[in-house]
Structure 1
Amino acid sequence: MGEYKTPGVYIKEKNAFPNSIVEAETAIPVFIGLTEKALNGTDSLDFKPMKISSITEYTKYFGGAPAPQFILSVINDADADKTLSVYDATINGGLKATLKSKLCTLYYNMVMFFANGGGTCYVISIGNYEKNLSDVYTDKSKETIFSNIKKVQDITMLVVPEAVNVDTCMNIYTDLLNLCDSKKYFVLLDIPLKKGNKIIDKPIETFREAIGTNNISYAAAYYPWLETSVLSDNDITGKTLTWDIENFNPDTFSLAPFYNVDSDVYKFIKDALSAIKKGTKTVLDKDGKTPQEVPLTKNELSQMENDLHNALMQNWPEYQLLAKKVKDYLNLLPPSAAMAGIYTMVDNTRGVWKAPANVSVNYVNKPSEVIDNKTQEEMNVPMDGKAVNAIRSFVGEGIKVWGARTLNGNSLDWRYINVRRTMTFLEESVKNAARAYVFEPNDANTWINMKCMIENFLRSVWKRGGLAGASPEDAYEVHVGLGDTMTAEDILEGIMRITVLVAISHPAEFIEITFQQQMQKS
């Protein structure tokens, strides 16, 4: 306040407390994929991050689950891929389901995210269920997506669970890792099982060869895929399993060798398919005399398809078995979305410094592959260091995440997920708070203020177990000042240098307990 000239009472307020550091978010993932719609009222949400916190909010903005459609056909030879086929060698006949619609799984993965502890997240829709991910994920759209992600400060994790459904999966992963140049994000990756229609013989080795080495300390991969319980038997309907109605010909239609043309089952199916293809029903006019053909409504057509489906489920064992295989096929999901939920849950209950491992996975019947100790040895400690974390089933304990390594397993600094993410948390928190001191005088007063601010923040983290040490002095150090971290030339050039040393807690990955007999003492 300037010089007083008028008599009276003047009030001055002085700050009693120094600036404090607001903790950065650690577990706010963004999911990128295909959705039924992308609307906020009448505003399009295409390629825009939308913040949600429940599956209800997801359906509000992005619609519901996809309606996958499989075309049924009778086969006379065993199919090489038994995933979607049933074959009875005694009669040389079987049933096969061929996916006709696009494979869109983001909705199912979002269910897994929230079921495993997920909370606030962002969703970016890059297309609807009529599109292929590889067609809409282009160089141009990629720039838009990543630009929009960078505009949202609290996004910390990147997840694209549908990437494994396309041949360009590894290119998408490489782009996500390149985005980690900002040292802000952590990427959750899945192991592709197929390329096109061909099953990959050694998926983990193929993944390691293709992923490269750029920013791999900012990523973690999990294996195997999960046989989930997202879809139930009731989700497989007459719309899911359908015959090729467009090419249906009642004169040539055959169910041999299951049913001959004189069987009641054959006649029932043939008549039902004929009615569905016809798409009309006979009604009488107002006088009740002249019959007319009117189109079936959408609900009526759907009811006819479901009636046929329910009848076949009760009377045709092979059809019933194939329906179960279709459900299992749709329920087989990569683990990244579930892991994003687990990361969120662990961060909220224990802190980012707790490894997201030795935690049960919900909505999972079993892992798609049994991982034993011998198999995990090579997954966890490979020669190239690109560790893949296992999800295993233990008797009496259930299904657990049994690994806590980044893809940079050979680095003693960044081997563990919680160490990498804790350091990112500390860096982002201090960085955001330090913005308030840009253009402040580069003198002792500013240095002391910043040092105290950072030390107070680190002390609070240490008290909660985020830093290792019996005392604060053992857990962290903050250095700033002329002759310590800066030279006179630095000050002339407008540079303030601060050095922060932290001892981050490492997980006890291997616990060795030694037992030895001793002589009786009394």
Structure 2
Amino acid sequence: MAAMKTPGVYIVEKNAFPNSVVEVATAVPAFIGHTEKAMNGNKSLINKPWRVTSMAEFRSYFGGEPTPVFEIQEAEGTEPELLLNGKGYKMQQSNTAYTLYYNMLLFYANGGGPCYIVSVGDYTMDFDAEKFTAGVETLIKEQEPTMVLVPEAIYLEKSACVALQQAVLAHCGLKMKNRFALLDIYNGYRSRQDPEGDPVNEFREAIGSNHLAFGATYYPWINTSVVSEKSITYANVDVAKLKELIEAEVAEWKDEKRQAQIAEQLPKLEDAELEQVDKDLLHTVLLQNSLVYRSVLKEIRQKVNLLPPGAAMAGVYTMLDNTRGVWKAPANVSVSNIVAPAVNISHDEQEDLNVPLSGKAVNAIRTFTGEGIKVWGARTLDGNSLDWRYINVRRTMIFLEESVKNAARAYVFEPNEANTWLNIKSMIENFLRGIWKRGGLAGSVPEDAYSVHVGLGDTMTPEDILEGIMRITVLVAITRPAEFIEITFQQQMQKS
């Protein structure tokens, strides 16, 4: 207020309303993995979190899809994956399985939006657990991400994958305390009755017991359709073995014209300097005439399309947050670009997934007749906790905490007295009232949904005032999903 030293009229303006709480974003995942490139103009983006909002942006900064190469091996002592010329064969990828690009396609197909990419290397580098962990650490200085995923972790050695996933949980629940980890199950494409071991139990035993409320996992892996038929050609196969198998197939034909047509094209398989037009012609001719060629490409496409479900769920979280709110449980919703789960789960088989003795719940992805493929679980890994059992409760609390925390920062160093306490209380109550009206808090009236306490004799002692501490207590009733619905039927006596 200006000093009144000259006679006259002075205007004094006073704020009539408290500050408002700005809602933080709830669905901004951070993906860590390998990309074709990582460049912004002439500047490297390696190990630098970079925000993108679409696949077009992703491609401009981080490049396109990888080129997986598979070897055709005879299935000796194992069940064959495909039969070629009367013999059993299996397909084995011979180069590193870079899958971040495919996971990004899955993320955006399921409603994904803004996200952060941390590229830890290009397609010439092998997977290294330490590089992935370092990539997670780069997110410490970023405020916006709310989820963390490392889709390629499941291609590391098992012990390295577990250590990395534990590091992700520690990052979310210990260092930052405002993020949620979406973890994938190692070998999650296998059945729980697989002779090599139950992947779900192995995950539960290995993941530990720390920070489980800040993570969730899904089973099984999913057969997707993100990689189309056009994306797979002979460039994805060991051409020497492929040529040998096609020659054996052609030798059995009785149509000499077709034999001559294929014989003319086959030598081009091993020509590395072939023009693109000739490559396309070779691919088309083989695809139209050779059953071996079609079978091999189909098997490769199925293998490349087998992906863990974490990225799809990040997209589902984003879609639900934008349409319903973070308080809606991310379950009983369809998953897009999926052909089928890798393992079919029955009602009875899900019992141990959802309510295990250890509490480490694993959310199921199931097929329902007439309804399609749905997410059928909404629990964190801390399933025995009544506070943090549900994903939406944990994520809603993170949302409320971060929003209020950011707004309260404006009052740091303000006088620790009644006027400041009243302003802060009004600010938080106005924010919570808006959340309650949108269905984010439970209660028929606002008093049942939330309460805010601040002040001397309520939340603070005179010693707190002297030490410069302002204590605010916020009580909220967060909505919980109706996970189990019981309908009781009973006969009654005939009345007429």
Instruction: Give yes or no for TM over 0.5.
Output: yes
Residue 153 of structure 1 corresponds to which residue in structure 2?
A: 143
1:31 aligns with 2:31: yes
Q: 1:479 to 1:362 in 2, by over 3 A?
A: same
Residue 129 of structure 1 corresponds to which residue in structure 2?
A: 123
Residue 490 of structure 2 corresponds to which residue in structure 1?
A: 516
Q: For 1:400-454, what per-residue CA distance to the aligned partner results, in whole angstroms no more than 9, with x for missing partners?
A: 1000000000001100001111111111111111111111111111111111111
The CA distance in 2 between the partners of 1:19 and 1:483, in whole Å, is 24
Residue 293 of structure 1 corresponds to which residue in structure 2?
A: none
Deviation at residue 261 of structure 1 after TM alignment: 10
1:477 aligns with 2:477: no
The CA distance in 1 between the partners of 2:253 and 2:429, in whole Å, is 86
Instruction: Decide whether the 8 Å contact of 2:148 with 2:181 is kept in 1.
Output: yes
Of 130, 133, 137, the match for 1:142:
133
State the secondary structure of the residue aligned to 2:385: coil
Residue 244 of structure 1 corresponds to which residue in structure 2?
A: 240
Higher CA-based Rg: 1
State the secondary structure of the residue aligned to 1:25: coil
State the secondary structure of the residue aligned to 1:230: coil
Deviation at residue 269 of structure 1 after TM alignment: 6.2
The CA distance in 2 between the partners of 1:270 and 1:226, in whole Å, is 39
Residue 80 of structure 1 corresponds to which residue in structure 2?
A: 78
Paired amino acid for 2:3: E
Deviation at residue 96 of structure 1 after TM alignment: 4.6
Residue 432 of structure 2 corresponds to which residue in structure 1?
A: 458
The CA distance in 2 between the partners of 1:148 and 1:519, in whole Å, is 70
Q: For 1:255-281, what per-residue CA distance to the aligned partner results, in whole angstroms no more than 9, with x for missing partners?
A: 6864559996887767645455466xx
Q: Is the deviation greater in 419-428 or in 267-276?
A: 267-276
Residue 340 of structure 2 corresponds to which residue in structure 1?
A: 366
1:165 aligns with 2:162: no
Q: For 1:288-330, what per-residue CA distance to the aligned partner results, in whole angstroms no more than 9, with x for missing partners?
A: xxxxxxxx4x6x1x44444443333333323322211111101
Paired amino acid for 1:106: L
Deviation at residue 351 of structure 1 after TM alignment: 0.7
TM-score normalized with structure 2 length: 0.91
Residue 220 of structure 1 corresponds to which residue in structure 2?
A: 216
Residue 349 of structure 1 corresponds to which residue in structure 2?
A: 323
The CA distance in 1 between the partners of 2:197 and 2:250, in whole Å, is 38
Residue 199 of structure 2 corresponds to which residue in structure 1?
A: 203
Residue 282 of structure 1 corresponds to which residue in structure 2?
A: none
Q: 1:310 to 1:70 in 2, by over 3 A?
A: farther
1:332 aligns with 2:306: yes
Q: For 1:84-116, what per-residue CA distance to the aligned partner results, in whole angstroms no more than 9, with x for missing partners?
A: x4235xx65345543232211111111111111
Q: For 1:116-151, what per-residue CA distance to the aligned partner results, in whole angstroms no more than 9, with x for missing partners?
A: 1111111111111122222xx426x734x3443122
Paired amino acid for 1:209: E
Residue 21 of structure 1 corresponds to which residue in structure 2?
A: 21
Residue 477 of structure 2 corresponds to which residue in structure 1?
A: 503
State the secondary structure of the residue aligned to 1:104: coil
Deviation at residue 8 of structure 1 after TM alignment: 5.8
The CA distance in 2 between the partners of 1:457 and 1:244, in whole Å, is 66
Residue 417 of structure 2 corresponds to which residue in structure 1?
A: 443
State the secondary structure of the residue aligned to 1:239: helix
The CA distance in 2 between the partners of 1:354 and 1:343, in whole Å, is 9
The CA distance in 2 between the partners of 1:278 and 1:131, in whole Å, is 26
Q: Is the deviation greater in 488-497 or in 354-363?
A: 488-497
- Trace 1:400-411 onto structure 2 (pairs within 5 A): 400-411=374-385
Residue 185 of structure 1 corresponds to which residue in structure 2?
A: 179
State the secondary structure of the residue aligned to 1:244: helix
Number of aligned residue pairs: 486
Of 154, 167, 175, the match for 1:175:
167
Instruction: Decide whether the 8 Å contact of 1:87 with 1:95 is kept in 2.
Output: yes
State the secondary structure of the residue aligned to 1:460: helix
Paired amino acid for 1:494: G
Paired amino acid for 1:54: S
Residue 61 of structure 1 corresponds to which residue in structure 2?
A: 61
Q: Is the deviation greater in 482-491 or in 397-406?
A: 482-491
Q: Which runs of no fewer than 5 residues in structure 1 stay unpaired?
A: 280-295
Residue 420 of structure 1 corresponds to which residue in structure 2?
A: 394
1:2 aligns with 2:2: yes
State the secondary structure of the residue aligned to 2:234: coil
